[in-house]
Amino acid sequence: MIFFQYDSLDEMNEKVSEIVIAELQKKPNSLLCPATGNSPTGLYKKLVEKKDQINTQQLRVLKLDEWYALPPDNPGTCEQYLQQHLLQPLGIASNQYTAFASDAHSPHNECERIQHYLVENGPIDLCILGIGKNGHLAFNEPNSELNAGVHVSQLTPETLQHGMAKIANAKLEFGLTLGMADILQSKTIILVVNGPHKRDILNRLLTSNISTHLPASFLWLHPNVYCYYTPEG
């Protein structure tokens, strides 16, 4: 994992947007897997500002994770976030986008459907990630063991304090998520970290110690991971 520190959030997002655009220009039919949450929002804003540099006609997008047992129009869903910040502004057609259904009747069947999609269409070309305050990646939560494939995740109390969960204003217990192997099979991974509330977990990640109790630490095992952060992050 290679770390890059920037003096300001705007400078970081500008640089990362240039890298993402370059990756998508190299392979217009890339499978892009974008995270949701506060960390990548500024990056997505930059991408939208530069959308004339991105040919989205062949781009494929896969949702990384989703809160389970919410109607899809709930403002706290990852679906609504991606539609607002990335998909609609970039003009991504529905047939280019594959997503967990937050209100799926069977969460396990929904995970099997997404896993099948990855088997048939993967691996992910570019995965954009954030890191949770507890070190989770997507909804791969700290635990004594981690799931390799797409699965239903029992969410931790810390994750349930996330801003999106609060916006959802509903009782949440589970998430639907890509597994660690799905993420680590990505060809390129970009990790974006910002905000003073992420300082402690970033410092833990910088030690390069790998533990299931810090899922993000498994990124050290991947040959092509780039972490971008600001001093306050």
Which tens digits make up the pLDDT trace of 189-217? 999 999 888 999 999 999 999 999 999 99
With CA atoms as reference, report the closest residue to 33 among 179, 217, 231. Answer: 179
> Residue 183 class from Cβ within 10 Å (0-12 exposed, 13-18 middle, 19+ buried)?
buried
**Residue of 79, 110, 141, 182 marked catalytic:** 141
Q: How far is CA 45 from CA 38, 63, 83, 87, in A?
A: 12, 18, 13, 11
Note down the domain range covering 111: 2-229
CATH code assigned at 154? 3.40.50.1360
Report how many domains make up the chain.
1
With CA atoms as reference, report the closest residue to 221 among 119, 137, 95, 105. Answer: 137
**Residue of 65, 66, 125, 182 marked catalytic:** 65
| Predicted TM-score of the model (pTM) | 0.96
134 carries an active-site annotation: yes
Q: Sign of the CA dihedral 93, 98, 102, 105?
A: positive
> Residue 57 class from Cβ within 10 Å (0-12 exposed, 13-18 middle, 19+ buried)?
exposed
141 carries an active-site annotation: yes
Q: How far is CA 162 from CA 20, 126, 186, in A?
A: 26, 25, 26
136 carries an active-site annotation: yes
Q: What is the DSSP-derived secondary structure letter of residue 85?
A: I
Question: What residues of the chain score a pLDDT lower than 50?
Answer: none
**Residue of 85, 136, 151, 162 marked catalytic:** 136
Neighbouring C-beta atoms of residue 107, cutoff 10 Å: 21
pLDDT of residue 101: 97
Cα(221)–Cα(1) distance, integer angstroms: 8
C-alpha radius of gyration, the chain, whole number = 16
pLDDT of residue 67: 97
**Residue of 134, 143, 158, 222 marked catalytic:** 134
Paired with 225 in beta bridges are 189
pLDDT of residue 233: 54
Q: Which two tokens stand for residue 216?
A: 């993000």
